[in-house]
Structure 1
Amino acid sequence: MASDLLERIKELIIDRRLPPGAPMPSERELTELLGTGRTCVREALKALQAMGIVDIRHGFGTYVGPMSMAPLTEGLAFRTVAGHYRGEDSLLQLLELREALETGLAGRLAGRLAEADLAELDALVARMEEEALDGAVRVETDRAFHAALCRGLDNPLLSEVLEAFWSAYRRVRADLPEQRSADPRASCARHREIVAAIRAGDSLRAQAAIRDHFCNIRSHLRLTYRFAR
């Protein structure tokens, strides 16, 4: 009954084409529309608020929520972290999902990024090269590069899904052995190749560059989980 009520309220939002921020019917109106008690309606609205579907503003009413991907992102990150500490290769699984997404988007971005966006990527690679001189590229710089790459598609959903990887990685990072054999200059070169391929408008080259970049990370994680077992 409770789940049915949630679905009916969600259907109401869809049927009325209510956008985020739009006012919802009052509790009294909902009880009449749905043929149920006010307590049931309140509990359903609380559950929907936890999902980001509605926003309850005490003293003002209930509104359609932002419908953010945050609950999914947090759930995916938590699943990954919990699995990692149980000895599962959950971070590797999430990395492979991220690789598939970024490989696909790289092909679509080839030849389509504005020069200003390419200049931002160039600047981030230059920063990586400076950091490499000190021994390692900072995770934050690598993250900024991939975030800038994803912005080129103007797809907030994609950016939020990819954020789950970084959130999970940040939480388990201290538990991962350092890549002592990795050459930070090679990482810089791989990122430079990604930008060059996209600037040249070569989709296949861009996809190959992304796969090459992830191959190194994937190999490191596979070794990590192999020795952990």
Structure 2
Amino acid sequence: MRTTRSQQLVDAIIELIDQRQLCAGDPLPPESRLMAEFDAARNSVREALRTLQALGIVEIRHGYGTFVGDASMTALSPSLLFRTRARSRDDLRGLQDLLEVREILETELARKVTGDTALLEDLAECVEQMRDPARATAADGRFHERICQAAGNELALELTRLFWDVYRQTESLIGTRSDSLVVKHERIVSAISSCDDAAIRRAVRQHFDEVRQRIAAVDRVAAHGQR
């Protein structure tokens, strides 16, 4: 019953934020008012607020009060990283799942930004920076972020950042890249420039093919070792 009551309070506080149209940074009522409004014990209210803080929905500033958070997707990073690593220990299924979601998302976003000449110039600049090993990783991240920004989808931008960060932290499971970042991303730029849906799908798929090949190689080694 404790878990049920805690979840009820979590839902109630979220509804309160919505009903009062509170924005990120706005203060929430103090604990005493939340206790009275929801007829709840102090410990139950604090437990609900800690849950919401872990989700990025509220921000607890000790000595100042509780405020509406920005609900950033980064709050999900630890759980997604744990899930991906945990599921990938035996058969790399978690990493494959992450890769598949990234490919679906990035294919559709790339299809939305065809004809954007400013974007193409920015992407080409990112590709040039990838030629420098010291700047390659950061340029890779910016490349994918710029496509999301040009598509005008803020949620997709946050998800892409989240997936990209988690992938970078799990990539060690399959070793280092076997081909050039430049070549993979040049194909995407060319495909977006062509305004050809089929070319875009093909370029994005090829972008992830090299990772799939590394996953398959690791799986083959693991299967051989079990014989």
User: How much does 1:9 deviate?
Assistant: 1.2
Residue 169 (structure 2) aligned to one of 168, 171, 185: 171
Residue 62 of structure 1 corresponds to which residue in structure 2?
66
How far apart, CA to CA, are the structure 1 residues paired with 2:31 and 2:101?
Answer: 41
Structural mapping, 1:56-205, within 5 Å: 56-111=60-115, 113=116, 115-128=117-130, 130-131=131-132, 138-180=136-178, 182=179, 184=180, 188-205=182-199
Amino acid at match of 1:123: E
Count of aligned residue pairs for this structure pair: 219
1:75-122 CA distance string (max 9 Å, x none): 1122112222344321121111100110111111111x2x33321211
Amino acid at match of 2:119: D
Give unmatched runs, 5+ long, in structure 1. Answer: none
Amino acid at match of 2:174: L
Amino acid at match of 1:52: G
Give unmatched runs, 5+ long, in structure 2. Answer: none
**What is the SS of the residue equivalent to 1:19?**
coil
Residue 211 of structure 1 corresponds to which residue in structure 2?
205
User: How much does 1:124 deviate?
Assistant: 2.0
Provide the aligned C-alpha RMSD in A. Answer: 2.5
Runs ≥4 in structure 1, deviation > 6 angstroms?
none
Amino acid at match of 1:125: V
- Contact 2:103–2:208 (Cα < 8 Å) also in 1: yes
Q: Is residue 44 of structure 1 aligned with residue 48 of structure 2? A: yes
Report 1 or 2 for greater relative contact order, CA contacts < 8 Å, sequence distance ≥ 6: 1
Structure that is richer in helix per residue? 2
Residue 47 to residue 179, structure 1, CA distance change in 2 (3 Å): closer
1:43-72 CA distance string (max 9 Å, x none): 222222122111122222211111111122
How far apart, CA to CA, are the structure 1 residues paired with 2:128 and 2:62?
Answer: 50
State the TM-score, normalized to the length of structure 2: 0.83
How far apart, CA to CA, are the structure 1 residues paired with 2:120 and 2:128?
Answer: 12
